[in-house]
Amino acid sequence: MSEGERLTELAKRRGFYFPSSSAYGGAAGFWTYGPQGAALKSNIEDAWRDRYVVKEGHQEISAPDVMPEPVFEASGHLDGFDDMIVECGECGATHRADHLVEDNTDIEEAESLPNEEVMDLIAEHGIECPSCHTSLADQPVDNFNLMFETNIGPGSSSPGYLRPETAQGIFVEFPQLSEYARNQLPFGVAQIGKAYRNEISPRKSLVRVREFTQAELEHFVDPEEDEPPLAEVEDVVLPLYAAAEQQTDDGGQRELTVREAVDEDIVESEWVAYYLGVSKEWYERIGVDMDRFRYRQHLAGERAHYASDCWDAESEVDGDWIEITGFAYRGDYDLSKHAKHSGEDYTVFKQYDEPITVDRATVDPDMSYLGPEFGGSAGAVADALEALAERNPDAFDDDEVTVEVDGKSHTVPVDKTNFSVDEVTENGEHIRPHVVEPSFGVGRIIYTVLAHSYETDEVDGEERTYLGLPPEQAPTTVGVFPLMDKDGMDDLATDIADDLRAAGLSVTYDDSGAIGRRYRRQDEVGTPYCVTVDYESLEDDSEAQRASDSASSAEPRSANRSSGQSPREDGDEPRAGTVTVRERDTTEQKRLPIDGLAETLEQLSTGDRTFDDL
Ligand code: AMP
C-alpha cells in the first residue's frame, strides 16, 4: 500500500474523512470530514486564525460562496481560469492533459507549457487514455474553465458562480473594508471558507477535490512606503527551490535565511519573504515534517494571471510534491480590475504630512467645437484630452494636440481645449494599494499533517500505528477509560471525564473492550494522553475520603457515587486519589493525582510542561 492509500484507509476507518454521497454512487472530488477530521480541521483553522489574524492584527470576514458573473469577468477568472483538457476519441473520458504528461515523462511542471506543446508531448511519448488505453495522440488539448456555474434566482438572466477562491469576496468589498480600517494602510483581511473548482480529474483523496476550504489573507500595502517587519523572521531558514534551479539539470533546493533570500534577490518581494518565514514556523507548529517540506518558486509560464512573483509551499507525500499554499504578490491587479469594471473607487486617500503646492494641468474642451467635429466620439475625445493633460501636459505646448480614441487618432487645436496650468494645494493623493496574498488549502494541509504524523512501531510484540500529531492539533486531547466497567471505576472515570471537559479539554470516554485495544484506538486518532482509572484509584480515593470524612464529618462521597451522582456536587473540595496517565508516543505511564489533572494535561498539551517533568 502506498503512503496515501494507507492514510486514506485509516482516515475512513477512524472517521477523519471519507467519500461523500456514496449511498448514491458518490461524486468524485467531494469528501466528508468525519468526527475526527472535523475536529482536526477546526483545530488547524484555529491555529491559522491565531497566527495570521490575531497575531498579525488583521481582520476576518465571511463572504458568500456564490457571486454574480461580473465579479469574475473583472477578476479574469471567466476568461483565464482554465486547465488543459484532452478527451479520449474512443471512450470519451476526459483527462487533465498536463498531468498525463507529468505522469508519463520526466517533465515536472507541464502546466507551464503551451497547449500545442502538451499535445506534441502526448503524441511523442505515446501516452494512452488511462481509462481504455487507446492512444491520445492527435487528440486536441483544449482549455476547460474550472468554475461551477449557477443561476441566481429563477431563469438564466443572472448567472453566478461558486467562487473558485475566497479572495474575490475580499477584493470586491475593498471600498467598504478600507473604511473599516479607517483608510489606513497597511491592513489585512482574512477569510476561511469554501472554494469550488470543477477539477477535470480529482485525485489523491483530499489533494485534488472539487470543493475545499481555503484560508486566505489579503494584505493591502502601500507599495511606496510600507515594509514588512522582516526582522521578526529574518533568521528563519527557508528551504527554497528557486525557478532558476528548476531549469538547470543539477539545480536543487537551497537553505537560506529569510534575510539572505531577500539580500540575494532569490525572493523578489520582501512581503512574500516575510510570510514565507512566518509560515515555515507555523507549518512546523502544526506538525508538517520539515524534512519533507520546501518552498518552490513558480516558473514564468506557470504563474497565475494576477501574480508577479509566486512561491508555493510544498509537502512531500508518497514521493510527490503537493502544493499546500500559494504565496503571491498580486500587485494592484485585482483592485484595478474591479475599479475599471464596476466604476467604483478602489483607492485609499493617503494624507501627506504637510500640504504641498503643485502645478495642476487641466482642460475644459469647447464642446461646441468637438461636437460637430467628432460627432459620437466627442465625449470620448474630451475624456482623452483630460487624461492626457494629467499625464503629459507638455503635449499641449504646440498649436495642436492629438489623442487616440478606439484606435483612431483625433487632432484638436489647443485653443479649443482651454488648457491651463494652475497652482493648487494638495493634502494627499489617492493611491491603489498592492496586495500580498498567502493562500492556504486546508484539506491539503490536513492530508500532509496526517501523512507526516503517521508512525508505526512495536509495542508488547505487536505492531502499533499511531499519529504523532502535536497535542494542540489532535482531535481529542484525552481518552478516559475505566479499567473495568464496574466497582465504581466507571463512575469515577465518568466524573473525571466530566471535570476535564468542564476545564475545556477535548475528551473521549471509552469503556469498551480490552484496555490495550482502547489505547490502540486512541493512538490511531493521535490522542496524546490517556487516563485510566483502576482499583488503585478507588483505594486511593476512598482512603483519602475516609481521612477527610473523619476530619470534617462530611457526607461519604462513595455513597454519592454509587447513587450515580457526581462526588463533587457537594462542593469543590480537591479530589484525592491517583490515575494512570499514558503518553501516546512513548507509551510511558505515570501515576498522577486526580486533583489538578486538568491543569497538568492542559500544560502538557500546550507544551508548557513535558511528560518527563512530571
Ligand atoms: P491556488 O489559488 O490555485 O494557488 O490555490 C491556493 C491553495 O488552494 C493551494 O495551495 C491548495 O492548497 C488549495 N487548492 C487549490 N486547488 C485545490 C483542489 N482542487 N483541491 C484541494 N485544494 C486545492
Flag whether pLDDT at 570 surpasses 70.
no
> What one-character-per-residue DSSP string does 231-296 give?
GGTTT-EEEEE-HHHHTSTT---EEEEHHHHHHTTSS--HHHHHHHHHHHHHHHHHT--GGGEEEE
CA-nearest residue for atom 13, ligand 1, is 441
In a 3-state reduction of DSSP, which class is residue 526? Answer: coil
Q: How confident is the model at residue 569 (pLDDT cuts 50, 70, 90)?
A: very low
**What tens digit of pLDDT does each residue of 114-140 get?**
999 999 999 999 999 999 999 999 999
Distance 209 CA to ligand 1 centre (A): 9
Q: How far is the C-alpha of 206 from the C-alpha of 202, rounded, in Å?
A: 9
Distance 513 CA to ligand 1 centre (A): 42
Which residues have C-beta within 8 Å of that of residue 559, sequence separation ≥ 6?
none
Q: How far is the C-alpha of 207 from the C-alpha of 444, rounded, in Å?
A: 5
For residue 250, what pLDDT is reported?
A: 87
Q: In the numeric block, which cell numbers belong to residue 146?
A: 474550472
8 A C-beta contact, residue 381 and residue 374? yes
CA-nearest residue for atom 4, ligand 1, is 326
For ligand 1, pick from 17, 206, 208, 447 the residue to mutate: most ligand atoms within 8 Å of CB.
208
For residue 560, what pLDDT is reported?
A: 38
Q: How far is the C-alpha of 364 from the C-alpha of 371, rounded, in Å?
A: 14
CA-nearest residue for atom 22, ligand 1, is 441
Distance 234 CA to ligand 1 centre (A): 27
- Alpha helix ranges (H) inside 69-216: 69-75, 77-80, 97-104, 115-124, 167-171, 174-180
Ligand 1 atom at shortest distance from the alpha carbon of 324: 12
Flag whether pLDDT at 568 surpasses 50.
no
Q: How confident is the model at residue 251 (pLDDT cuts 50, 70, 90)?
A: confident
Q: Between 538 and 335, where is the model more confident?
A: 335
**What tens digit of pLDDT does each residue of 40-55 get?**
999 999 999 999 999 9
Q: Look up residue 449 and give its amino acid.
A: V
Distance 168 CA to ligand 1 centre (A): 15
CA-nearest residue for atom 3, ligand 1, is 326
Q: Between 304 and 131, where is the model more confident?
A: 131
Distance 525 CA to ligand 1 centre (A): 26
**Ramachandran angles phi, psi of 179, nearest 5°:** -60, -45
Q: Is the bond preceding 186 in cis, omega lying within 30 degrees of 0?
A: yes
CA-nearest residue for atom 23, ligand 1, is 441
Q: The pTM is what?
A: 0.87
CA-nearest residue for atom 2, ligand 1, is 165
Flag whether pLDDT at 141 surpasses 50.
yes
Element (H, E) at 30: none
| Domains (range + CATH), the chain | 3-81+146-332 (3.30.930.10), 82-145 (3.30.40.230), 354-431 (no CATH), 465-549+573-613 (3.40.50.800)
Distance 212 CA to ligand 1 centre (A): 8
Average pLDDT taken over every residue of the chain: 93
> What one-character-per-residue DSSP string does 460-472 give?
TTEEEEEE---TT
CA-nearest residue for atom 17, ligand 1, is 208
Q: In the numeric block, which cell numbers belong to residue 558?
A: 462513595
**Ramachandran angles phi, psi of 568, nearest 5°:** -100, 5
Flag whether pLDDT at 554 surpasses 50.
no
For residue 324, what pLDDT is reported?
A: 98
Q: How confident is the model at residue 163 (pLDDT cuts 50, 70, 90)?
A: very high
For ligand 1, pick from 111, 214, 283, 314 the residue to mutate: most ligand atoms within 8 Å of CB.
214
Give 75's Cβ-side CA count (13 Å radius): 23
Q: How far is the C-alpha of 468 from the C-alpha of 287, rounded, in Å?
A: 8
Distance 213 CA to ligand 1 centre (A): 9
Measure the CA dihedral 155/156/158/161, to 10°. Answer: 120
Distance 195 CA to ligand 1 centre (A): 9
**Comparing 113-122, 146-155, 358-367, 557-566, which segment has the lowest mean pLDDT?**
557-566
Q: How confident is the model at residue 576 (pLDDT cuts 50, 70, 90)?
A: confident
Ligand 1 atom at shortest distance from the alpha carbon of 313: 10
Distance 487 CA to ligand 1 centre (A): 54
Greatest distance between any 2 Cα atoms in the chain: 112
Ligand 1 atom at shortest distance from the alpha carbon of 310: 4
Distance 441 CA to ligand 1 centre (A): 5
Quick one: which of 473, 445, 441, 433 has its CA closest to 189? 433
For residue 1, what pLDDT is reported?
A: 87
8 A C-beta contact, residue 194 and residue 361? no
What is the percentage of the chain residues whose pLDDT exceeds 90? 88
**What tens digit of pLDDT does each residue of 436-475 get?**
999 999 999 999 999 999 999 999 899 999 999 999 999 9
Ligand 1 pocket, Cβ-based, cut-off 6 angstroms: 165, 197, 199, 208-209, 212, 214, 323-326, 439, 441, 443-444
For residue 140, what pLDDT is reported?
A: 96
DSSP single-letter state for residue 332: T
CA-nearest residue for atom 15, ligand 1, is 441
What is the percentage of the chain residues whose pLDDT exceeds 70? 94
8 A C-beta contact, residue 280 and residue 325? no
Q: How confident is the model at residue 551 (pLDDT cuts 50, 70, 90)?
A: low
Distance 443 CA to ligand 1 centre (A): 9
> What is the Cα Rg of the chain in Å?
32
Element (H, E) at 145: strand 141-145
Flag whether pLDDT at 556 surpasses 80.
no
CA-nearest residue for atom 7, ligand 1, is 441
Quick one: which of 430, 403, 406, 435 has its CA closest to 337? 435
Distance 442 CA to ligand 1 centre (A): 9
For ligand 1, pick from 203, 207, 272, 444 the residue to mutate: most ligand atoms within 8 Å of CB.
444
Flag whether pLDDT at 287 surpasses 60.
yes
